[in-house]
Amino acid sequence: MLKARLIADRDMKKAAVDRRIYSSFIEHLGRAVYSGIYEPGHPEADENGFRKDVIRLIRELDVPYVRYPGGNFVSCYRWEDGVGPVAERPARLDAAWKTLEPNTFGLDEAAAWAKAADTKLMMAVNLGTRGLQDAVNLLEYCNIDAPSKYAQMRKDNGHKDPYGIKLWCLGNEMDGKWQTGHKTPEEYARIAAETARAMKRVDPSIELVACGSSGSNMATFPEWERIVLTEAYDAVDYISMHQYYDNYDDDAPSFLAASTDLDRFIKTVITAADYAKAVTRSSKTIGISLDEWNVWYHTRREDDKKMDDNPWQIAPHLLEDIYNAEDALVVGCMLITILRNAERVRIACLAQLVNVIAPIMTRKGGGAWRQTIYYPFMHASRYGRGKVVETAADSALYDSGKYGDVPYLESVAVLNEAEDELTVFAVNRSLSEDMELALDLRGFGKCSLIEHIELRSDDLKAINTEEKENVRPVVRTDSALDSGTGSIILRPASWNTIRIKVR
C-alpha cells in the first residue's frame, strides 16, 4: 500500500476559482452541431430543433461559457451566411475540415441554444480570411442597440435585443500552418492589437483573448507569446493556450503524468506574459484562457485520411474519440492542474462538448450518453467552486518515462465557504497499488465526510456506450474522516472527489 499525506490550512487560501474554467466548446465540425446539439425532427428536439436530451446532460455539467463557432472552422467562416431566412442561406465549403457547411444553424440559433442550455457564448472572430472590419461588424450585430446597419440586420432577423456577448477570441491558432490565413507572430500581433482596439471602441465592456501558442510543442513557443503580448498588451485581457494529450504509445504511466507537462506549459506562458507586462510598464495582469484542452488521439490519424478521401460531406463522423477509463484519469489530472493554477487560468474550455472529442455523445435519431471523461469534469464543475486552498502534498514518485519523476498523487483542495464545504480532488496514478491518503486539515474546525466519490475501472480501456455505462462513479461507503484528520483509501488508477463538511 502506498502512503501519501495532504496538509491543507484554512488560512492559506490561494486563489478564487473563476467559474469560467468549467467552460466548453462547440465548433462547426463533424456532428457537434448537426445531430449533436441540433437535430430538427429528433424525438427530443424542441421547437427550435435543439436536442433536449443533450441540453439536460450539458446542464448537469453546469457549463458557464461555450466557445463558438471554432476552432479551425472560424478562420474561413463568413458569419453572415448563417443569419437571415434559412432558405436563403448558402451552403459553403469548409476548407478547415473539408466538409460542406449548410449554414442552417448560425449565430442567431447559437444564441438561442445557449440560452436554452443555460450557458453563454464565447465568440471567436475570423482573423484568417477576414479581419478587423468584419470583426467589428460581427460585434455590432451581436452587441449594439443602434439604428446602424448590422444592429438593424439583427433586428430585421427578429432579434430586437442585443445578445451582449462579453468574451471574444481574436482568431484561432494563428500560429499553426494548418490554419487558414496562418500568420507570423509579428503579423498576428498587429492584426490582433488593431482589431482589439477597434472592437473595444465599439463595445468597451467586452473582454478579449489573443491567440497564444496552439501547443507547447510549437516551434514559435514561447517567442510567439512575447511578441504578441508586447504589441497587444494594453488591448487584450487574456492569452490563449491549447493543449491535447495522447496515448499513441499505449504507455499508461507516461500518459497519466501528462498534466505535469500542462503545468510547465502554464508556468511558461505566465512568465512570457509577465515579461510583456514589465516591458510595457503595465499595471494590468494578463490572464490565461486555456480555451482548448482534452485528450485527443483515438481518431486523429484516421480522420485526416477520411477528410481527404471523402470530402464535402455534411456533418460526417469526425473526431469522435471514444474515451476510456485512463482518459478520464488524465482529464481529472488536467482539471486538478487547472485548479492549482486558478490564480492565472481564468477561462478554460474542455474541447469539445458534444460528439467531437467530447464528454457527451449522441446517435442521430437515437440517444445521448455520457463518456468516461464526463464525470471528472462534472465533479470538478459541481464541487470545485470557491477558493483553492494551499496544500502540501507528500507522495512517493515514480519514473514516468516521458515526463520524468512524477508523484503518484495528483491533488488539489477547494473551499466553498458559502456551503462550508471543502472538496479534495485526488488521482492515484499507481496502476497496481492502493494509496492511503492521510488528510491533515488545519483550521477547518470539526470536519466530517459528506461523501467520497470514486471513478475507476479494473480495465483501463473500458468505455461507455449508448447501451451501457461501464465507467461510472460510485460512492465509497467504507471511507470515514474523524475531525480534522483521517485517512482515505484511493484505489489504483482512480479519480476521487472527497467532499468534507467543515465548520
Contacting positions for ligand AHR (CB under 6 A): 27, 70-72, 172-173, 214, 292, 351-352
Q: Are 153 and 147 in contact (CB under 8 A)?
A: no
Residue 351 C-beta: closest distance to ligand AHR, Å: 4
Least CB distance to ligand AHR at residue 119 (A): 18
**What is the rounded radius of gyration, in angstroms, for the C-alpha atoms of the chain?**
23
For 349, half-sphere exposure in the C-beta direction (CA atoms, 13 angstrom radius) is: 29
- Residue 353: CB minimum distance to ligand AHR, A: 11
Cα separation, 143 vs 496, in Å, equals 42
Query: CA torsion 195→290→384→400, rounded to 10°?
Result: -170
Q: Which helix (H) or strand (E) holds 416?
A: strand 409-416
User: In the complex, what is the shortest distance from the CB of residue 105 to ligand AHR, in angstroms, rounded to a whole number?
Assistant: 17
> Residue 391 and residue 413: Cα distance in Å, rounded?
7
Residue whose C-alpha cell reads 462550508 in the numeric block? 420
Q: 98, 42 in Cβ contact below 8 A? A: no
Q: Residue 17 or 107: which CB sits closer to ligand AHR?
A: 107
Nearer to ligand AHR, 30 or 64 (CB): 30
The dihedral of CA 337, 338, 342, 345: what is its sign?
positive
Provide long-range contacts, Cβ within 8 A and 24+ apart, for 467-471: 469/369, 469/370, 471/324, 471/325, 471/328, 471/372, 471/375
Active-site annotation holder among 27, 101, 173, 410: 173
Q: Which is nearer to ligand AHR, 211 or 413 (CB)?
A: 211
- Measured from the CB of residue 156, what is the shortest distance to ligand AHR in angstroms? 31
* Active-site residue, 173 included: yes
Strand partners, 348: 290
Q: 292 an active-site residue? A: yes
Cβ-based nearer residue to ligand AHR, 228 or 351: 351
Backbone angles phi and psi of 322, in degrees to 5: -100, 115
**Catalytic one among 292, 326, 410, 454?**
292
Looking at the DSSP assignment, which residues form a beta bridge with residue 474?
Answer: 454
Q: Which is nearer to ligand AHR, 42 or 242 (CB)?
A: 242
Q: How far is the CB of 207 from ligand AHR (least distance, A)?
A: 20
Phi, psi of 306 (to 5 degrees): -55, -45
* Nearer CB in complex with ligand AHR: 247/352: 352
Q: Which residue is nearest to ligand AHR (CB)?
A: 71
* Residues classed as catalytic: 173, 292
